[in-house]
Amino acid sequence: MCAALEGLADYLVDESPHSKMLSAQKLAFAKLKERVIQVLKSDEQLSKDAAVKRITAGISSYEFLTSADKIRNAGELLGLRITKQEIADWKNLRNEPAHGDFDFDFGDPLEIQLALNRTASVANMINKYVLALIGYKGPFRDYGAPGHPTRTFPD
């Protein structure tokens, strides 16, 4: 589910018609990144240093936005508010299994409920993106909130 949210956010920020709103920022970032690399490479002595080569390679691979930034920005492009808690839920749900640190106690009801709440929060973000993309306005069930209240979309 986290990968689905990230993929949708990537599309919205990088490829969708909405992404044009970020063009100036992306261009400024690309120019700054290129300038930093030029400065590092301009010193012939420094450019031979293995550590500087690693730093330059790292800067070269650095993207304009992190995954969390993309999720937030995708929401902004669609006129949605993505909360800090929603981002925290996505990070907590994604990071442990994605990085091999998945130690889950299936016997602990509180831990199970917390995982379910995080999953519902991530699913709710996907739902809000889709509702915004189809231009929906009206009531929706917020499965990311306790008790699943009916809210007005967009909120």
d(CA 52, CA 100): 30
Mean pLDDT, range 90-94, rounded to an integer:
89
Helix (H) or strand (E) holding 86: helix 84-98
pLDDT of residue 41: 85
| CA–CA distance, 123 with 131 (Å, rounded to integer) | 12
Q: What pLDDT, on the 0 to 100 scale, is given for residue 123?
A: 95
Q: 99-129 pLDDT, tens per residue?
A: 555 666 778 888 888 888 999 999 999 999 9
Task: Using pLDDT thresholds of 50, 70 and 90, give the confidence band for residue 49.
Answer: confident
Res 6: pLDDT: 94
Output the CA torsion 126→130→133→136 (10° steps): -130
Convert the pLDDT of each residue in 1-23 to its tens digit: 899 999 999 999 998 888 888 88
| Domain limits, the chain | 2-27+64-153
User: Which region, left, alpha or beta, applies to residue 147 given φ > 0 means left and ψ of -120 to 50 means alpha?
Assistant: left
Mean pLDDT value across the chain: 88
Entry pTM: 0.77
Extended beta strands in the chain, E state: 138-141, 150-153
Q: How far is CA 16 from CA 3, 60, 64, 94, 110, in A?
A: 18, 24, 16, 24, 39
What pLDDT is recorded for position 9?
95
pLDDT beyond 90 at 87: yes
